[in-house]
Every structure is written in structure tokens, then in C-alpha cells.
Structure 1
């Protein structure tokens, strides 16, 4: 493998001249530049990133800890991060923890060993011990996505989840619904608990009492949304509408309703959250809250790279807003449905469910 010394010898220039030409760190004559580039091409020379990082103390590499790159929401955020890194000449090392705290700790050590220039964290846990360790061990600039952590020296990029949950529920109320169930994500996650708080606020403003049997918790997966709906239908009368904490759970909820004999939105309306690409291809196409996922990733990456280049900038908290996307899964009620009709449908469907083996 050719070295910088080989290039200098073939181009008949000094090693420092080769370095200045390749790194653009000093003016070099056109003739000398031409000789260096010809030598590089002839020898198929590849500069050593390791050697460069030892000299400059920069690797032009950032790490990202994420909960799951298979979830469409995370995938779109990661796409935004990666595109920004590419545009600005940085490499991205992605570590998928699957929500496992031990894996997060292990990946953090690996990223430290790789001498990353900065770190993005999109964790599935609000574990104080993890973030405390992160704060103590990670000397590199850091940006936390979609989670506000107290007493940590880092920039934060997050969605106003409480406002999003409020707007989603208000849309259901404005459509004539007063019997509104909620399937939230795990409430130990701040986005999930904030969306649920928005749901509560919207109901309280309209003097609608929260029915505790209509409040369920899923795990942000389609399967958990499906199971939550089946549990609700077995235990109580159905609501007229469901607010679901993310689109994957909403997809599972729609499947459970339809498999139990209910029509969406004719019998029960469903409101999702995130506006992942698949939301427009459900049957019916899903009304949901659009999170600016790629913009979130792009802003997080830009914020981190700006901090790497200007480390004295004070940490900031930036908040993005979600917007309503109306499709066909929410029915507009012209009048409140007869409670007798709802009970008749419920008895029929409950009988169907309980008759399953």
C-alpha cells in the first residue's frame, strides 16, 4: 500500500507539500499540485484517516445511539441525520440498542474508543443513571433528541408532544366525538406521557370525563396496539374514537377493530401520531399528527456539527411542532350516536370476541 512518502518521492516534492495539497491547508503552486495529484492517481494512494485523526485530533465522525432503526419513525430521523452528515463531510456511526440499557452502555464505550467528534442520543429510556453516566463520561459535544433531561450539558431537539396530543384530541372533539379512548406509549417515556397529558387537557377543557377503562398503554408496536384494543373491547363498551400514541400502534388498533367486526371510521374513528409513510396506505388512510422527522434529524445533526466547530456556544433547547394530517380514519359526527345503538353493537361484538377459542 502506497504511503505519503511514496507520493512525495514520485512527485519530487516534500512530504509536507503533499500534505498541504491534499488537505488544502496552504497555498501550493499549480505545477506542484498537478504532480501530487498525478502521483496519487498513479499509486492509488489513500490518505490514512487514522493518521489524520492523530494529527488533528478530529475524526470527522459522529456517533448516534438510537432505540430502534427498524421503527419507521426512527428510520426517518436517522435519514435526516445521515443526509446532513454527508453534506457536511462527516461520517455517521449508528448504534441500535433495541431499548436495552446494557447495550447502550456498551455502545457508548465503543464510540468513545473510536474517538468520535460528537454524539447524538435518541434513547428509548429516561433512565437517570444512564444520562448521568453519559454526562460524566462523554467529553464530546452531545445532542439529545426527543427527550428533555435535567442537569446534562447538551443541546436538546424535541417535539412539543403535549401540544401534539392536545391538537389530536381537539380534532376528535371538534369532529363531534365525546367518547374518546387513548392508547398511549409507555408513560415512562417523556413523549408518550406528554401526548397523554395533551389528551387529558383537551378533554378537561371540553368538560369530558376520562373513562379509566378507555386508557390503555402499548409498547409503540403494531402488536401492542392490536392487543390493547382487544382488551378494551372485552372489558368495556367501545368509545366512538381512539387517539393512539403512534402510527404503528394505530395500525394494530385498526386491524383489531376490523377483525372484531367494527368498521373504521363508520363505527369507531382512529387518530394516529407520527405520520410515517405507511399511514397513508392503511385501510382507510389514517388521519394522524405529522412529526417533522427528517427535519428533526437534520436539525439535530446541524446543531451537533455547529457545536463541534464552535464548542463555546451555550446549549439550547429547540422545539418543533407537529401538524394535523386529515385523511379518512376519523368520522365527522353530525349528531351524537344513540347510546342504545352503541350498546347493541357492543353486545354483538363482545359476544363475537368471547366466543373465540
Structure 2
């Protein structure tokens, strides 16, 4: 190409050996073009520099073709596979992603909103469990950008939600402990402000009630989802006159803390105590004993979330939609038959 003559879509089509219409589809709706053809077209785009023209087209349409993802902690082991699903689905549809690692900092969240106000991003994926700080200052609710909450629903807001069925998953997990003969089952992870924790506690309570097992409120302990909070909760349990025989933990990180506390006291797991987690994060199969848990379909959650957000961007009315995926019981070595 000449250094002074802008590349055209005809140039791309000629080099790739396809029609202009195929080039247009590959750039605007990549999911409708075969992978081999799309690769040839992208190679031709790179050779000609037509990318600049494509960006100008996006500006004319007032569409950035970028999605802002707000996450409280990108180091969370639940995040990586969700991100893969989000990015994979976005890429299929011709979108890129911007990741905002908020660290639950209001100022950071407000700063990330500049991508929306400056038209550098078209919509938001929320993994934070709340509306972005500073959104109210950006304009009235009717002008909110399209948003989808993932993993953690946003309370009191008509934000579509995609995640695992936390209530049902917790019910299945507790049922499994009951099937192993456990009736004194502790729940570690009580919370009054995290929707996921509250749903999992409800599932635990429902399973016990359905089995005719009385709930001992002394076995329901607060924890914030961290390993240290799980360790601390298990330690507090030992001031009780009666101990549980099994622990159902709100997530795998909490379960690890419980295992650490019990092992430090010299208990043989799962002979002395059974421990159940939730999420099936990467290290769940490597701890000792390996953790029985509920597996979240994180890749599918990411794909479904992005698909829903892009449907909103295309004008579909999905404001009250909720997509709940099933978790899977993963049997390992931390749960055993009650022996007392």
C-alpha cells in the first residue's frame, strides 16, 4: 500500500481473496465467518493498515466495540475462567474488553467509569455485587449504560444476573453431608450483606429442614469468604460444648481455613471431621485432604454473561432476566461417613 493512500476494504478483499461483503461480515459479525477465512482477512487487515479505518467506522457509529469489566480482585481464583468465557464470547462478536481491578475502592470505580462517559466502552460487566460508585453522579438511572451482574447479584436494582444457582448448589452440598450420616453440620460463612452467602445459607437450612434435622444456631458462624476467616471460625467452634461432625463452608477458601485449623489441632480428616466447600477453585484438588466441593461452570457463566450484555446492546429488553447455571458435586476425600 502507498504510504499516503488510506487502505480500503477493497484492498483487504483483494489480498484475502474474498468478497467485500465477506470482509464486512468478518469485521462486524466475526461469528458468522469461518475461522480460516477470518484469519486470512485479519492478516490482510494487518498488511494494509485497514484497522484504522475500522476504528473510524466505530466512532461514526458511536460504538466503541469495547466492554468494561469491573472486578473487585482480578487475583480471585474464580475470576480467570469467567474472564476467558467473557473474552471468548466478546471476540466472536467483534468486541474487545477492558478490565477494571477495583479493589472495592470507590475512587477507582468512579475513575473506570470514564471509559463509559467518553464512549470508549459500550457496556459493563459487574463482578462487584453493586452498582458502580459514581454512576449516580454521571446521570439519572434512565441513562445507565447496559450492565450485567455476574456471580454476585446487585441488590435492589433491575440489573440482569448470570451466575450459579447458589441456593440449589448449597442444598445439594448439604444433602450430600446428610447422606453420609452427618446431622451436626456447621455452616461457615454467614453474612448479612452478601447475596451469594445468604443464598448458600438458605440452601443449607432448607436441606436440613427437609431431612427433619434441627438447626443448631451455634453451628452457624460468620466468615467473610477468606481463608483466615474460615480458620478463625473453626477455632471459635471449639469453645462449644458440642462440636459438629461436618463443616459446610460458603466457599473453598473458607474450607481451606477450616482444614488448616483442624489439622493444626491434630485431627485426622475426614475421619474426625468432614469438610465441604463450594466453587471448585484451582487448588481444591491439591489440598490435603482433597476438597469435596460444588463446581461452578465458570467458563459458561462468562460466555452467557457476555452474550446477554451484547443482546442488550443490540436493543433486546432483558432488564429483569436471570440466568442460573447448575453447579456440579465433585467428590474427593474431605467428606466421609460419620463414624461416631
Cross-structure match for 2:336: 331
Aligned-pair distance for 1:182?
0.9
Structure 2 CA distance for aligned equivalents of residues 40 and 329 of structure 1: 53
TM-score where L is the length of structure 1: 0.77
| Structure 1: stretches of 5+ with no match in the other structure | 12-19, 26-36, 338-357
Structure with greater helix share of residues: 1
For structure 1, which segment, 293-302 or 221-230, has the greater mean C-alpha deviation from structure 2 after superposition?
221-230
Please say if 1:275 is aligned against 2:280: yes
User: How many residues end up aligned between the 2 structures?
Assistant: 311
Rounded to whole Å, the distance in 1 between the matches of 2:142 and 2:330 is 42
Moved over 4 A (4+): 2-8, 20-23, 37-40, 43-46, 125-135
What's the CA shift for 1:207?
2.8
For 2:271, the equivalent position in structure 1 comes to 266
Superposition CA RMSD, Å: 3.1
Residue 202 of structure 1 is matched in structure 2 by: 207
SS in 1 for 2:254: helix
Structure 2 matches for 1:174-323, cutoff 5 A? 174-184=179-189, 186-309=191-314, 311-315=315-319, 316-323=321-328
Instruction: State which of 108, 123, 127 in structure 2 corresponds to 1:122.
Output: 127
**SS at the partner of 1:72?**
coil
Choose from 67, 71, 75 the match for 1:70: 75
Q: Looking at CA atoms only, which structure, 1 or 2, has the larger radius of gyration?
A: 1
Aligned partner (choices 107, 111, 117) of residue 112 of structure 1: 117
Which whole-Å CA distance do the structure 2 matches of 1:272 and 1:39 have between them? 48
**Structure 2 length as normaliser, TM-score?**
0.80
Partners of 2:83 and 2:46 in 1: CA distance = 35
Contact 1:264–1:329 (CA<8 Å) still a contact in 2?
Answer: yes
Q: Mind listing any 5+ residue stretches in structure 2 that lack a counterpart?
A: 12-19, 26-42
Alignment of 1:94-113 (within 5 A): 94-113=99-118
Alpha-carbon separation, structure 2, partners of 1:312 and 1:39: 31
For residue 243 of structure 1, give the secondary structure of its aligned residue in structure 2. Answer: strand
How far does residue 330 in structure 1 lie from its aligned partner after superposition?
Answer: 0.4
**Secondary structure in structure 1 of the residue aligned to 2:113:** helix
- Report the secondary structure of 2:247's partner residue: strand
Kept after mapping to 1: 8 A contact 2:116/2:145: no
Cα distance in 1 for partners of 2:98, 2:168 equals 33
Contact 2:110 2:135 in 1 (8 A): no
Q: Cα gap change, 1:304/1:267 in structure 2, threshold over 3 Å: closer, same or farther? A: same
